[in-house]
Amino acid sequence: MIRTLTRRGASPLTLVGLVVVLLTLIPLGYIAYALVTMGPADLAALLWRPRVGELLRNTLSLMVGTVAVTTVVGVACAFLVNRTDLRLRGWWHALLSAPLAVPAFVNSYGWVSLTSSVQSYAGAVLVVSLSYYPLVYLPVTAAMTTLEAAPEEVARSLGRSRTRAFFSAALPRLLPAVLGGALLVGLHVLAEFGALQLLNYQTFTTAIYGQYQSSFAGDAGTALSGVLVVLCVLLLTVELIGRGGRRVDRVGRGTGRTAEPLVLGSRAVPVLGLLVGLVVLALGVPLYSLGHWLVVGSSTEFPVDELTRALGSTVGLALGGATLTMLMAMPLAWLVVRRRGPVSTVLERLAYTANSLPGIVVALALVTVSIRYAPSAYQTVPVLLLAYAILFLPRALVSVRGSLEQAPALLDDVARSLGLTAWRTFLRVTVRLVAPGVGAGLALVFLAVSTELTATLLLSPIGTTTLATEFWSNSSSVEYGAAAPYALLLVLAAVPATVMLSRQARPEEVRP
Amino acid sequence: MLRTRSIRLLAATAATALALPVLAACGGEDDKNAVVVYNAQHKQLISAVAKEFTKKTGITVKLRNGSDLELANQLVAEGTASPADVFLTENSPAMALVDSKGLFQPLARTTLERIPAQYRPTDGDWTGFAGRSTVLVYNPSLISEDDLPTSLLDLAGPAWAGKVSFSPTGADFQAIVAAVLALKGEDATKAWLAGIKANGKTFQGNNVVLKSVNAGEVATGIIYHYYWDRDQEESGENSDNSKLYFFGDQDPGAFVSTSGAGVLANGDHLTDAEKFVDYLTSAEGQKIIADSYALEYTLNPEVPLGREVKPFAELDPPAVGVSELDSQKVVQLMQDAGLL
Interface of B with A in 263-292 (CB under 8 A): none
pLDDT recorded at residue A249: 60
Question: Do residues A480 and A113 lie in contact, with contact meaning Cβ atoms separated by under 8 Å?
Answer: yes
| B137 in the same domain as B245 | yes
For a pLDDT cut of 90, what percent of chain A falls above it?
A: 25
Indicate whether B321 belongs to any domain.
no
| B178 in the same domain as B85 | no
For a pLDDT cut of 70, what percent of chain A falls above it?
A: 89
| B331 in the same domain as B211 | yes
Dist. CA B55–CA B48, nearest whole Å = 11
Q: How many domains does chain B have?
A: 3
Question: Do residues B134 and B151 lie in contact, with contact meaning Cβ atoms separated by under 8 Å?
Answer: no
Indicate whether B318 belongs to any domain.
no
pLDDT-derived band of residue A247, with 50, 70 and 90 as boundaries?
A: low
**B5 at the A interface (CB within 8 A)?**
no
Indicate whether B317 belongs to any domain.
no
| B52 in the same domain as B5 | no
pLDDT recorded at residue A510: 40
Burial grade of A277 (CB within 10 A; 0-12, 13-18, 19 or more): exposed
Q: Please compute the mean of the pLDDT values over residues A87-111 and round it to a whole number.
A: 90
Instruction: Name, of A293-307, A425-439, A496-510, the range with top average pLDDT.
Output: A425-439
pLDDT recorded at residue A348: 80
| B142 in the same domain as B94 | no
Q: CB–CB of A212 and B74 under 8 A?
A: no
| B104 in the same domain as B47 | yes
pLDDT-derived band of residue B30, with 50, 70 and 90 as boundaries?
A: low
CB-based contacts of B177: which residues, under 8 Å, 6+ apart? B189, B193, B330, B333, B334
Return the biggest CA–CA distance within chain A: 71
Return the biggest CA–CA distance within chain B: 87
Q: How far is CA A369 from the centre of its chain?
A: 26
- The neighbouring-strand residues paired with B62 are B36
Burial grade of A60 (CB within 10 A; 0-12, 13-18, 19 or more): middle
CATH fold group of domain A27-246+265-504: MetI-like fold (1.10.3720)
Q: Please compute the mean of the pLDDT values over residues A142-147 and round it to a whole number.
A: 82
Indicate whether B316 belongs to any domain.
no
CB-based contacts of A188: which residues, under 8 Å, 6+ apart? A104, A132, A135
| B125 in the same domain as B3 | no
Question: Do residues A10 and A335 lie in contact, with contact meaning Cβ atoms separated by under 8 Å?
Answer: yes
- A10-22: buried (b, 16+ CB within 10 Å) or exposed (e) per residue? bbbbbebbeebbe
Reply yes or no on whether the pLDDT at B26 is more than 50: no
Residue of B10, B62, B98, B208 to mutate when probing chain A, most A C-beta within 10 A: B208
**Least CB–CB distance from A211: residue in B204, B211, B340:** B340
pLDDT recorded at residue A113: 77
**A462 at the B interface (CB within 8 A)?**
yes
pLDDT recorded at residue A95: 93
**B211 at the A interface (CB within 8 A)?**
yes
pLDDT-derived band of residue B5, with 50, 70 and 90 as boundaries?
A: low
Dist. CA B309–CA B298, nearest whole Å = 12
**A477 at the B interface (CB within 8 A)?**
yes
For residue B298, the enclosing domain spans 35-130+259-310
pLDDT recorded at residue A274: 95
Indicate whether B322 belongs to any domain.
no
| B139 in the same domain as B225 | yes
Dist. CA A451–CA A445, nearest whole Å = 10
Phi, psi of B127 (to 5 degrees): -140, 155
User: pLDDT tens-digit profile of B124-140?
Assistant: 999 999 999 999 999 99
Instruction: Report helix, strand and coil shares of chain B as percent, to nearest 5.
Output: 50, 15, 35
pLDDT-derived band of residue B7, with 50, 70 and 90 as boundaries?
A: low
Burial grade of A264 (CB within 10 A; 0-12, 13-18, 19 or more): middle
Burial grade of B198 (CB within 10 A; 0-12, 13-18, 19 or more): middle
Report the amino acid identity of residue A267.
R
pLDDT recorded at residue A362: 86
Chain B, nearest residue to A455 by Cα: B66
Dist. CA A273–CA A261, nearest whole Å = 20
A90: nearest Cα among A496, A501, A504, A509: A509
Sign of CA dihedral A32, A34, A40, A46: negative
pLDDT recorded at residue A505: 73
| B263 in the same domain as B246 | no
Dist. CA A447–CA A455, nearest whole Å = 15
pLDDT recorded at residue A4: 41
Task: State the complex-level ipTM.
Answer: 0.76
User: pLDDT tens-digit profile of A208-230?
Assistant: 878 777 765 467 877 888 888 88
**A53 at the B interface (CB within 8 A)?**
no
Question: Do residues B213 and B165 lie in contact, with contact meaning Cβ atoms separated by under 8 Å?
Answer: yes
Q: How many CB atoms lie within 10 A of CB B265?
A: 14
Could you give the angle at which helices A381-406 and A342-355 cross, rounded to 10 degrees?
Answer: 130
| Collapsed DSSP state (helix, strand, coil) of residue B108 | coil
Question: Do residues B206 and B172 lie in contact, with contact meaning Cβ atoms separated by under 8 Å?
Answer: yes
- A360-397: buried (b, 16+ CB within 10 Å) or exposed (e) per residue? bbbbbbbbbbbbeeeeeebbbbebbbbbbbbbbbbbbb
Which of A71-75, A164-168, A430-434 has the weakest average pLDDT?
A: A430-434
Q: Please compute the mean of the pLDDT values over residues A418-442 and round it to a whole number.
A: 81
Q: CB–CB of A478 and B230 under 8 A?
A: yes
Query: Which sequence spans correspond to the domains of chain A?
Result: 27-246+265-504
Dist. CA B265–CA A351, nearest whole Å = 41
Reply yes or no on whether the pLDDT at B338 is more than 90: no
Provide the CATH number for the domain around residue B217.
Answer: 3.40.190.10
Reply yes or no on whether the pLDDT at B14 is more than 60: yes
Interface of A with B in 331-370 (CB under 8 A): 367-368
| B237 in the same domain as B195 | yes
Instruction: Name, of A175-184, A244-253, B275-284, the range with top average pLDDT.
Output: B275-284
Instruction: Name, of A28-32, A109-113, B106-110, the range with top average pLDDT.
Output: B106-110
Dist. CA A365–CA A350, nearest whole Å = 17
| B113 in the same domain as B69 | yes
**B159 at the A interface (CB within 8 A)?**
no
Dist. CA A22–CA A332, nearest whole Å = 12
| B186 in the same domain as B104 | no
pLDDT recorded at residue A5: 40
Instruction: Name, of A22-26, A185-189, A282-286, the range with top average pLDDT.
Output: A282-286
Write the secondary structure of A50-65 as one string of H (helix), E (strand) and C (coil). Answer: HHHHHHHHHHHHHHHH
Q: How far is B177 from chain A (nearest CA, A)?
A: 13
Q: How far is B171 from chain A (nearest CA, A)?
A: 7
